[in-house]
A = this chain, B = another copy of it.
Amino acid sequence: MSATAAERGREARQRLLGVAAELIAERGWSAVSTRMLAERAGVAPGVVHYHFTSVPALLAEAALGVMRALIEQLGAGLEQAHTPDEALKLMVGFLKDYDGRDPTSLLFAETYLAAGRDEGLRRALGEVVAEFRRRLADRLAEHGLAAPEATAAVLAAAIDGIMLHRALGPGPDTADLTTVLDRLITPAGSGRPSARERTADTP
């Protein structure tokens, strides 16, 4: 088996993936070109089609890689949260880092849209989102919140939507956001969370 040659190849491949994620955010999914990728990655144009079957295939692999890593990180954080409030705080904290104008947020949005035009990408991305929703719903259900799946879906969607809107201009600050989103996990008519609308048994 080769060691140095294969390693350099793997490195070039990885560099291309990283550069692809950057460029998707900067220029938009369909505006990323073979030569752009090659130049920024510091390789000859031909290398792109040596490591990947096509440019869209490279973009899809790059985007899914970043998204899976991030979702995994956030999901792992959720496992540490002991109350829905902690989970919410964690998610709002994410909103601080990813404000809709940064490369990661843009990559997410671009990938969402590209998924609508690529069946394979759509399926893969759908799985990533579904898994995160499931993990969040599990956390919420553990604490007896009503309609945990729907709540998780709305919460996750709200986070993404807020990122999108923020890119257009200033929105509510973190404190106000937390106050409002907190309503989602604090059912009406209760003085304290998980006191009245409890429908599931906590283990």
Contact = CB atoms under 8 A, between A and B. Distances in A.
A12 interface: no
A84 B169 CA distance: 25
A200 interface: no
B115 A106 contact: no
A176 B160 CA distance: 19
Interface residues of A, number: 59
A112 B109 contact: yes
Contact of A28 (B106, B113, B192): B113
A134 interface: no
A57 interface: no
Interface of A: 27-31, 101, 106, 109-110, 112-117, 122, 125-126, 129-130, 146-147, 149-151, 153-154, 156-162, 164-165, 167-169, 171-172, 176-177, 179-184, 186-195
8 contacts: A29-B30, A106-B113, A129-B169, A153-B165, A153-B171, A154-B158, A183-B186, A189-B191
Closest 3 A/B residue pairs (Cβ):
A161-B161, A157-B161, A150-B176
